[in-house]
A and B are shown apart, each in its own frame.
Chain A
Amino acid sequence: MIDWLPLWLSLKLAFITMIILLVIGIPLAWQLAYSRRRWTAIAEAIISLPMVLPPSVLGFYLLLAFSPAGSFGHLLDHLFNIRLVFTFPGLIVASLFYSLPFMVNPLLAGFKNLPPHLLEASRTLGKSSWTTLRRILLPNIRASLITGAILSFAHTIGEFGVVMMIGGSIPGQTRVASVAIYDEQQSGNYSLANHYAITLLALSFAILLVVYTVNRHFSQSKSIL
Chain B
Amino acid sequence: MTPDQTPTPSQPFLRFHATKMLHTAQGPQLFDLNFELPQGQTLAIYGPSGAGKTTLLRILAGLTAADTGHIRLADETWLDTHRHIDLPTQRRSIGFVFQDFALFPNLTVRGNLEYALPTKNDTPIVDELLALMELEELQHRRPTLLSGGQQQRIAIARAIARRPRLLLLDEPLSALDDEMRHKLQDYLLKIQRHFRLTTLVVSHHLPEIFRLSTNVIHLEKGRIERQGPPSEVFADKPNITFTGTIIDLTPVKDAILVRIDFAGTIIQLTIPAANAATLQPGRPVTITSTLLNPELRG
* Distance in Å: Cβ of A71 to nearest Cβ of chain B: 42
Counting chain A residues whose Cβ lies within 8 A of the other chain, the interface size class is 10 to 19
Q: A residues within 8 A CB of B102?
A: 115, 117-118, 120-121
A126 touches B162 (CB 8 A): yes
A124 touches B96 (CB 8 A): yes
Q: A residues within 8 A CB of B115?
A: 122, 125, 127, 135-136
B98 proximal to A (CB < 8 A): yes
B61 proximal to A (CB < 8 A): yes
A118 touches B104 (CB 8 A): yes
Distance between Cα atoms of A135 and B88 in the complex (Å): 20
A124 touches B104 (CB 8 A): no
A78 proximal to B (CB < 8 A): no
Interface residues of A in 91-139 (CB under 8 A from B): 115, 117-118, 120-128, 135-136, 139
New A-B contacts (10) at CB < 8 Å, excluding given A124-B63, A125-B162, A225-B105: A115-B102, A120-B63, A121-B102, A123-B88, A123-B89, A124-B61, A125-B115, A125-B158, A136-B115, A225-B142
Counting chain B residues whose Cβ lies within 8 A of the other chain, the interface size class is 20 to 34
Q: A residues within 8 A CB of B98?
A: 117, 120-121
A124 touches B94 (CB 8 A): yes
* Distance in Å: Cβ of B81 to nearest Cβ of chain A: 20
Distance between Cα atoms of A117 and B95 in the complex (Å): 14
16 CB-based A-B contacts, threshold 8 Å: A117-B98, A117-B100, A118-B104, A120-B89, A120-B96, A121-B96, A121-B103, A122-B104, A124-B94, A125-B116, A125-B158, A126-B91, A136-B115, A139-B106, A140-B104, A225-B142
Distance between Cα atoms of A140 and B162 in the complex (Å): 23
Distance between Cα atoms of A83 and B103 in the complex (Å): 50
Q: A residues within 8 A CB of B61?
A: 124
Q: Mark A130-174, 1 if CB is under 8 A from B, else 0.
A: 000001100110000000000000000000000000000000000
Q: A residues within 8 A CB of B89?
A: 120, 123-124
Distance between Cα atoms of A62 and B96 in the complex (Å): 50
B34 proximal to A (CB < 8 A): no
* Distance in Å: Cβ of B138 to nearest Cβ of chain A: 14
Chain B's closest residue to A120 (CB) is: B63
* Distance in Å: Cβ of B64 to nearest Cβ of chain A: 10
Distance between Cα atoms of A126 and B118 in the complex (Å): 8
Q: Select which of A115, A123, A135, A139 is within 8 A of B90 by beta carbon.
A: A123
B63 touches A126 (CB 8 A): no
Known A-B contacts A123-B63, A135-B115, A225-B142; the reply to A128 vs B90 at CB < 8 A is yes
Interface residues of B in 78-127 (CB under 8 A from A): 88-91, 94-96, 98, 100, 102-106, 115-116, 118
Chain B's closest residue to A127 (CB) is: B90
Instruction: Return the 9 tightest CB-CB contacts between A and B, nearest first.
Output: A117-B102, A121-B102, A124-B96, A139-B106, A123-B89, A125-B116, A225-B144, A117-B98, A126-B90
Distance between Cα atoms of A120 and B104 in the complex (Å): 11
* Distance in Å: Cβ of A110 to nearest Cβ of chain B: 13
Distance between Cα atoms of A123 and B95 in the complex (Å): 10
Q: A residues within 8 A CB of B103?
A: 121
